[in-house]
Amino acid sequence: MSLLELRGISREVRLPDESVLPILTGVDLDVAPGEHVAIVGRSGSGKSTLLNLLGLLDTPTSGSYLLDGEPTDRLSARRRSRLRGEVFGFVFQQFNLLPRRTAAENVAAPLLYARGRDYLRRRSTAREMLDRVGLGARADQVPERLSGGEQQRVAIARALVRAPRVVLADEPTGALDVETGAQVMALLAQATAENGAALVTITHDLSVAALAGRRFRLERGHLSPLVEAGALGAATSDRGPA
């Protein structure tokens, strides 16, 4: 059974002039546990919107989204928030680390919303995660004193600290140079694989997309499998942000 199952998902937004702008149209997608999926597409193609829908940060206008077989459209706001924290881990292009908190505090932050032992052991768990991404020695540094690559590794540790079943990565290498990006992406793929988590990556980078087991192209709100290298190149020719 699929962990994430999207059927005929559409997302529209109403513009100030009352016209309707379709962002996603009839999107079908299945993500199995532990699977690595990449989604590529031009700027404005709806990649981030799709990721927000997957992560329960947004709701579709129509269509069905089953999370582990459970329809998400009937979930209360509270339940959605809890599931978001328990099932998903997010990695953002701009890292989005909490300023003026140390790396360890940043990694421990999601565990503030956990319960029981996970909450109580949050500090030691955070340090263990930082060890795993090779930043144990920099646990007490604030983000402002870390390089871009180190910051993204902290963000990866943070995304994985609650042992999520799915990691959603929005342009995880977008703010990094090629070499660092490759290292970070390799770490992300390895860490999620070790955790048994599925990884859904949005990227412009062909090499990043190539790491995925399945690749999709998102164009004008339509999602389709990406099979040809030429098509992949056409889909990612625009290097602007998604």
| Span near other proteins by CB under 8 A; candidates 33-41, 53-61, 180-188, 229-237 | 53-61
Distance of alpha carbon 25 from alpha carbon 46, whole angstroms: 10
Q: Please identify, using beta-carbon distances, which residue of 74 and 117 lies nearer to other proteins.
A: 117
| Span near other proteins by CB under 8 A; candidates 115-123, 125-133, 193-201, 223-231 | 115-123
Among 32, 113, 231, 234, binds other proteins (CB under 8 A): 113
**What region does 95 belong to: left with phi over 0, alpha with psi -120 to 50, or beta?**
left
By the rule CB under 8 A, 109 interacts with other proteins:
yes
Helices (H), 14-115: 47-54, 77-87, 103-108
In angstroms, give the least distance from the CB of 48 to other proteins.
Answer: 8
Among 30, 32, 57, 75, binds other proteins (CB under 8 A): 57
Q: String of b and e for 86-96 (b: at least 16 CB within 10 Å)?
A: bbbbbbbbebe
By the rule CB under 8 A, 206 interacts with other proteins:
no
239: exposed, middle or buried (Cβ count in 10 Å: 0-12, 13-18, 19+): exposed
Distance of alpha carbon 68 from alpha carbon 101, whole angstroms: 34
Among 26, 34, 44, 85, binds other proteins (CB under 8 A): 85
Q: Please identify, using beta-carbon distances, which residue of 84 and 214 lies nearer to other proteins.
A: 84
Distance of alpha carbon 122 from alpha carbon 141, whole angstroms: 17
By the rule CB under 8 A, 221 interacts with other proteins:
no
130 DSSP 8-state letter: H
* Binding footprint of other proteins on the chain (CB under 8 A): 52, 55, 57-58, 77-78, 81-86, 88, 90, 92, 96, 98-101, 105, 109-110, 112-116, 119-120, 162
